[in-house]
Chain A
């Protein structure tokens, strides 16, 4: 099971857009699937994502990484770009 935590405007791709609680998609994927492929399959446009945390660690070039072993993905949108790449 993989949890995808969505923040800011990316919440619209999750189960709700309430700001006062976590917006989390519960999903699963084949171990060879990349993070980017997973997000596309969930309908999240990669160009709207500024930065990615994998299991609590800020990760560059995360879209190319396989989801194998990843339990939590945190996604922040471009207009919350304190995570400037």
Chain B
């Protein structure tokens, strides 16, 4: 029987609670968002004593189902001021689930100004001093923790950015090689951990009870259907393992939707130099050494979209250079140097920053003239200021909107205070509808309409058409369910096109919980999650006027297609008409 672990940082106590019936069929994002809704006052300060940070494996996490090891982290966001669910791979989520823990709720604040580590294992949970890792970057912190804990535990931690409570502080999760690069990055939940005095959660599942499955035979059959779909579909079996998500660099560049130099163009002349093809070439043919593609971010992933990017001498540099990070520090900053991009990703992983927000912030700083576009070394120097805690570093560490305000920039590509990802919404309208209306702020993963708009997956939608409310709504609802399931969102490529894969996804959950959910139920459950989040945001002060893209995107035409974002406010408002 699963339990909830409640951690009180004020009196440094831990206790296990029975799972309330209303949470029994919730997991991942569905669970974190409902707990935030039930327990966090919407008007609380995100870094104050009344906010909470919640960690929840998905519904099928910890099982043998393919690509199902995702972790949801929830709370009120210091970046957006609204509800937040950030999602990560890595090894911790499966271990939490295999200890029979459905969620970890961290509340209160340490009273002595010190940092603590939460140790969780088969015997229980306890808070211990984090003096051994406080102030350290995540690479060193993870190394110290594994040195002290021979069972190679999962580590959920924050770098110096989180300790400084900066609004772009992410939550690191270690991978199978103990690298810290699997981030629940978005929305600043690392700062919430920091505000509570929690440096790390160390999860050792050795001897744990494992997960129970209501109908093991059916589960095995349905998980195989999903695995077969993932291993058949061209995206999940060829493109992603071969070239990683950065395969999208050349594709979005060709589509004219690759945001370049702080969203001032949709094409980057240096795209080829930072493309997935180039990463593959350097990692597997030119430099080799530690370089690797088809690298899984957690055990049991069959998609394996991660990579290990090597230094010029072949030694390990960072894992991983994926599309969003590559784009954020590359084309978005006018940088065409993969080694500089890799170093910027490494700094982010170490200091504890979300790479999308960090890259967009550097782009805004370039727009402000702090450093020139295209100067990789200057970008490295600038981002390094964050870990040092200098005044400039603290501005950068608070994200793109904060930095734009600090330097009087009007071209700030953000919604609800959160920076936009690597798809310009002007020539790809549907993703703009998702950016504008998502409960999370600008977030491509909330409703990845790119799939039909650009990639031809799950039907085909004209990227320039403005009637995208219904498309975005459908994707947002299904996504919310996938985020609750613990499956990686990238299974969507396969399950949107292969019916048996979709059945496998839904029925593997059914087999585990004894439910009989259908595809329609999936949409309804997803909609309910979004409604819960939306209600929290309304109570936190958000209105429909917050569901808008920044003004400059309606005024400035984006080359090469020379279009503005022209989806009507009525269309945006219709997304929540359910």
Residues of A within 8 A of B (CB): 5, 7-8, 19-22, 50-51, 53, 56-58, 60, 74, 76, 78-85
Contact = CB atoms under 8 A, between A and B. Distances in A.
Interface stretch (B4-12, B55-63, B238-246, B396-404): B238-246
Contacts of B493: 84
A58 B456 contact: yes
For the complex of A and B, the 6 pairs showing the least CB-CB separation, nearest first, are A81-B234, A74-B254, A56-B256, A82-B239, A19-B281, A19-B277
16 contacts: A19-B280, A56-B255, A57-B464, A60-B456, A78-B234, A79-B238, A79-B239, A79-B242, A80-B238, A80-B243, A81-B238, A82-B235, A82-B240, A83-B456, A84-B235, A84-B456
Contacts of A22: 272
A21 B272 contact: yes
A58 B240 CA distance: 20
Interface string B202-246: 000000000000000000000000000000011100111011000
Contacts of B560: 56
A82 B455 contact: yes
A60 B463 CA distance: 13
Contacts of B464: 57
Contacts of B427: 56
A79 B238 CA distance: 6
A3 B427 CA distance: 21
A58 B457 CA distance: 12
Nearest to B269: A22
A58 B456 CA distance: 8
Interface in B483-513: 493, 497
B254 A56 contact: yes
Contacts of B251: 76, 80, 82-83
A47 to B, nearest CB: 14
A70 to B, nearest CB: 14
Q: How large is the interface on B (under 10, 10 to 19, 20 to 34, 35 or more residues)?
A: 20 to 34
A22 B464 CA distance: 26
A63 B469 CA distance: 32
Contacts of A56: 254-256, 427, 560-561
Given A56-B255, A80-B239, A85 B456 contact: yes
Interface of B: 233-235, 238-240, 242-243, 247-248, 250-251, 254-256, 272-273, 275, 277-278, 280-281, 427, 454-457, 460, 463-464, 493, 497, 560-561
A19 B454 contact: no
Most chain B beta-carbon contacts within 10 A, residue among A50, A51, A81, A84: A84
A84 B234 contact: yes
A52 to B, nearest CB: 10
B457 A84 contact: yes
Contacts of B238: 78-81
Contacts of B277: 7-8, 19, 80
Given A58-B454, A60-B456, A82-B247, A19 B235 contact: no
A22 B277 CA distance: 11
Contact of B272 (A20, A60, A78, A85): A20
Nearest to A76: B251
B304 to A, nearest CB: 15
Nearest to B285: A19
Nearest to B460: A60
A19 B284 CA distance: 13
Contacts of B457: 84
A84 B458 CA distance: 9
Given A80-B239, A84-B456, A21 B273 contact: yes
A8 B235 CA distance: 15
Contact of A58 (B234, B250, B255, B280): B255
Given A22-B272, A82-B247, A84-B455, A53 B254 contact: yes
A85 B457 CA distance: 7
Given A53-B255, A57-B255, A84-B457, 18 more contacts: A7-B254, A19-B278, A20-B281, A21-B273, A56-B254, A56-B255, A56-B561, A57-B464, A74-B254, A76-B250, A79-B242, A80-B247, A81-B234, A81-B235, A81-B239, A82-B251, A83-B454, A84-B233
Contacts of A21: 272-273
Most chain B beta-carbon contacts within 10 A, residue among A8, A19, A76: A19
A82 B248 contact: yes
Contacts of A78: 234, 238
A5 B250 CA distance: 10
Contacts of A83: 251, 454-456
B171 to A, nearest CB: 28
Contacts of A60: 456, 460
A55 to B, nearest CB: 8
Contacts of A80: 238-239, 242-243, 247, 251, 277
Most chain B beta-carbon contacts within 10 A, residue among A19, A57, A82, A83: A82
A56 B266 CA distance: 10
Contact of B254 (A5, A19, A50): A5
Contacts of A8: 277
B239 A20 contact: no
A71 B312 CA distance: 38
A53 B251 CA distance: 9
B281 to A, nearest CB: 4
Nearest to B496: A84
Given A79-B238, A82-B248, A19 B275 contact: yes
